[in-house]
Chain A
Amino acid sequence: MKKHVVGYSVSIMLLFVAAWFAISVGSVKVPLSVLWNPSSADAASANIIWKIRVPRVILAGLVGAALAMAGAAFQGLLKNPLADPYTLGVSSGASVGAVMTIFFGISTSSLGLYTLPIFSMLGAMAAMVLVLSFARLVDRSMKMETLILTGIIVSAFLSSVISLMIALTGDELRQILNWLMGSVSMRGWPYIKMIWPFLVIGGLMLWMNRKELNALLFGEERAHYLGVNVKRSKWMILVGGSILTGCAVAVSGTIGFVGLVVPHMTRLLFGADHRHLLPLSIINGATLLIVCDLVARTIIAPSELPIGVITSFIGAPVFAYIFFRQRRKGR
């Protein structure tokens, strides 16, 4: 219990520190005091903060939280520490959904603002179903390697679909490319408004299954004996995770490895109990992406790096390390 109190306090503290720096640091230095004393600031500073930096930090936080929570749930459900929306190809599915929306200029009045995230989510779910059913076909026990390999195959295929669509577009090209690189810059409040209801729904779906996730770690048979409605829980977790991934991808493109690194670190420090793993992953996922975004926009200022570059830079080695550890342990 004490371990978790420490976990939550440290995680929340880090989130606040990260957010604070992310808001104050940038091409225009805004004194920290502006944050708690807005009246002292000039109009330009206030504008920068409330119109640009704050929404950017919030969006980065939301995307990070969504990806980390989805990653934690996928890893638990599949009992696979290498699973995350990116490695499973779910992010690519969401990308295809989003690119199609832009490419075909789809906009239905009934969905309105939510068209993009909804198509992203549908893409994510379709990719998830495709990956899982193919992996199951290859090997019923769905070994770690099978699943990851299937994810790569599906990702590669979906990437080519995206490339094809890009090649076929003319003037919309820049918009898609920009978006594909993975970035939370220049999105502003509308994007936050666009995704938050889905984040709440997806998050709740996973949160409701936190104990079921714990039971599922001991295998579906054991979970069944413990009284878990295995079928329902599995679907809720898959759909919930896809919703979160779809939302994240819809606003920020594909940002890899956040869903891998954060749950892994959190589990290492605070254990595999999903009652704590899920909320802690949310907080730490938000922190990580806020920090990554801060680095992305300051490291080669005045230019900006896509945020996906930073996360992959951290994520790929962690992926390699987990893979190495798992294989060694298996022997």
Chain B
Amino acid sequence: MLEVRSLTGGYDKKEIVHDVSFSLKKGHMLGILGPNGSGKSTLLKMISGILPVTAGEILIDEMPRHSYKQKELARKMAVLPQLHAHAFSHTVSETVALGRYPHQSGLFSQWSTDDERASTEAMQQTGVAKYCEHELEYLSGGEQQRTFIAQALAQQAELLLLDEPTNHLDLEHQRQIMDMLKHEVEERQLTVVSIFHDMNLAALYCDELLLLENGRVRACGEPAEVLTEDEIAEVYHTAVARFAHPQLATPQMALLPDTVVADNCVTLEQFTVKSQYVHLHTDKPLRTLSAALHNPGFGWFRHFLNRTVDEHYMSDDAHTEMKNYIANEQLPIEQTVAMMTAVDVQHAVIRRYTNDEHEIFVMVTAGVGNAVDAARGHLHAEPQRVGTINLWAIINGELSDESFMQAMMTTIEAKVKAMQDGEIYDTHTGTIATGTSTDSVLIAATQSGRKYEYAGTITAIGKLIGRGVYETMLIALDDYKRAKGWIQ
């Protein structure tokens, strides 16, 4: 649909865009990214014919752009510039109706039903139909922007060039306009080239991205290829961290501000054992990876709860029940991660382990009435007995994602070993158990101070975790056995 071949040009005296090439198939959306002054708008204006081209070619539908007559071109390609000028008052519907100009011809051309349909539809798609009789100058910036998008849509061109279409729009309207464009791209094979300021929005909606730097193409391709941490850091001179969108297979970029991270340190005093729960309350949030009931997965939290519930606790909706419980305790729901156990928290074992500059804390509550040998789990029916091992490993230091996973592996391996050495049997199969069927693990780190790239079993931090978890587990298991009267 659109092909740009080694395009060079810009303003009269200064070439801004150098040797830019790309092509776009019909029914695709291309996002143009780049820092201020990288030539995004200039490139768009050259494609749309406002600025001169000194070298290179622009093909629209395999025909050179200059071979189109002005009106023909406007039927083929609609353009939404970044700034809008207007004089005197116009109603929204008059403004949108102007988009039909290229479809009208002759001295006495009439407004046809096609014209009417196209402009009504464009107004509905952009949500401005309800203001159609309002005057443009009294509308908000966002409403004006949507009116001009409607005008461009009313042109019914196959190719749409947009310069920051989501400018002035709030979150709802950003999504609405982008969803609508994406829908047009998919359903009607509209081809869209759009400049974006927000690379995350571009990554969400575009099939391809073009990254410009100083008027040259820095990268071009699928969002996953173009949006790399190194590329963005170099082009924008800004540190970013790439992460996956929680629900879509598209990369997103998080800004890493250049501010000094204040020291954050967990101490033993921050652990308290209340009547119904173990509570860790830190000064600043800890990065956390857990299999907790409330707020599992990765997150940042300041309150950590290991709550005792009655042996006969039954709830259809444990999540909501836990949320209500946290709220009743006057704790912030979104900053709290919480798990449950049937073990009385007075039996919780909390210990500090340290060597040289490394320091961790381990918290264990162990109830093994429900012990299971993971290798023979398939021999078990539904769990009937209560019993849970809840394990926390809190680390004063900075962990990479990789070391978070390794810390979790190390914790679990140490737990299994403690089960073995504590001779806890799976009563159903008669073999040594590896855990219970409802265990939970939590790894949290302050993300300040020493950095740990790895946390395997013989790394500095891994050694501490392995030993700490193993020893604390054994103490907790002995405590459990004593309570059950198995040992003296």
Contact = CB atoms under 8 A, between A and B. Distances in A.
Interface of A: 76, 79-81, 207-208, 211, 214-215, 217-219, 221-222, 224-229, 267, 271-273
B94 A273 contact: yes
A81 B88 contact: yes
A219 B84 CA distance: 8
B88 A218 contact: no
Given A227-B72, A272-B89, 11 more contacts: A207-B107, A214-B94, A217-B87, A218-B95, A221-B81, A222-B81, A224-B49, A226-B155, A227-B73, A271-B90, A271-B94
Contact of B101 (A79, A217, A227, A272): A227
A219 B87 CA distance: 8
A323 B27 CA distance: 49
10 contacts: A79-B87, A80-B87, A208-B107, A211-B104, A218-B86, A225-B81, A271-B90, A271-B91, A272-B89, A273-B90
A229 B75 CA distance: 14
B62 to A, nearest CB: 21
B102 A272 contact: no
A226 B98 contact: yes
B78 to A, nearest CB: 7
Contacts of B72: 227
Given A227-B101, A228-B70, A217 B90 contact: yes
A227 B70 contact: yes
Contacts of B70: 224, 227-229
B74 A226 contact: yes
Given A221-B50, A271-B89, A226 B101 contact: yes
A222 B84 contact: yes
A80 B89 CA distance: 12
Contacts of B102: 226-227
A217 B98 CA distance: 11
A137 B169 CA distance: 37
Nearest to B45: A221
B84 A218 contact: yes
A26 to B, nearest CB: 39
Interface of B: 48-50, 70-75, 78-79, 81, 84-91, 94-95, 98-99, 101-102, 104, 107, 155
Contacts of A272: 87-90, 94
7 nearest interchain CB pairs?
Answer: A227-B74, A79-B87, A227-B102, A272-B88, A219-B85, A225-B79, A227-B71
Contact of A227 (B75, B94, B95): B75
Contacts of B75: 227
Given A218-B84, A271-B94, A228 B89 contact: no
B74 A217 contact: no
Contacts of A229: 70
Given A211-B101, A211-B104, A225-B79, A218 B94 contact: no
Nearest to A79: B87
Given A222-B84, A227-B70, A227-B71, A215 B90 contact: no
Contacts of B87: 76, 79-81, 217, 272
Contact of B50 (A81, A214, A224, A226): A224
Contacts of B49: 224
Contacts of A227: 70-75, 101-102
A84 B70 CA distance: 30
Nearest to A224: B50
B417 to A, nearest CB: 71
A223 to B, nearest CB: 9
A28 to B, nearest CB: 44
Contacts of B104: 211
A211 B85 CA distance: 17
Given A224-B50, A225-B48, A225-B81, A215 B98 contact: yes
A268 to B, nearest CB: 9
B85 A218 contact: yes
A100 to B, nearest CB: 35
Contacts of B71: 227
A110 to B, nearest CB: 31
A81 to B, nearest CB: 7
A79 B89 CA distance: 11
A267 B74 contact: no
A215 B71 CA distance: 13
A201 B88 CA distance: 27
B397 to A, nearest CB: 57
A190 B317 CA distance: 98
Nearest to B94: A273
Nearest to A78: B87
A229 B79 CA distance: 15
Contacts of B74: 225-227
A220 to B, nearest CB: 9
Nearest to B86: A218
A80 B78 CA distance: 27
Contacts of A207: 107
B302 to A, nearest CB: 49
Nearest to A268: B89
Nearest to A329: B137
Contacts of A273: 90, 94
Given A271-B94, A273-B94, A217 B99 contact: no
A267 B74 CA distance: 28
A214 B86 CA distance: 10
Contacts of A79: 85, 87-88
Contacts of B84: 218-219, 222
A208 B108 CA distance: 9
A196 B245 CA distance: 71
A244 B84 CA distance: 32
A214 B89 CA distance: 11
A212 to B, nearest CB: 8
A217 B48 contact: no
Nearest to A81: B88
A267 B70 CA distance: 29
A214 B104 CA distance: 14
Nearest to A229: B70
Contacts of A228: 70, 101
B207 to A, nearest CB: 24
A69 B86 CA distance: 21
Nearest to B95: A218
A319 B376 CA distance: 94
A139 B75 CA distance: 34
B88 A217 contact: yes
A260 to B, nearest CB: 14
A250 to B, nearest CB: 27
Contacts of A267: 88
A225 B78 CA distance: 6
Residue from B49, B101, B104 whose CB has the most chain A CB atoms within 10 Å: B101
Contacts of A211: 98, 101, 104
A211 B88 CA distance: 15
Contacts of A76: 87-88
A211 to B, nearest CB: 6
A153 B87 CA distance: 25
Residue from A80, A207, A225, A273 whose CB has the most chain B CB atoms within 10 Å: A225
Given A227-B70, A272-B89, A214 B98 contact: yes
A68 B75 CA distance: 34
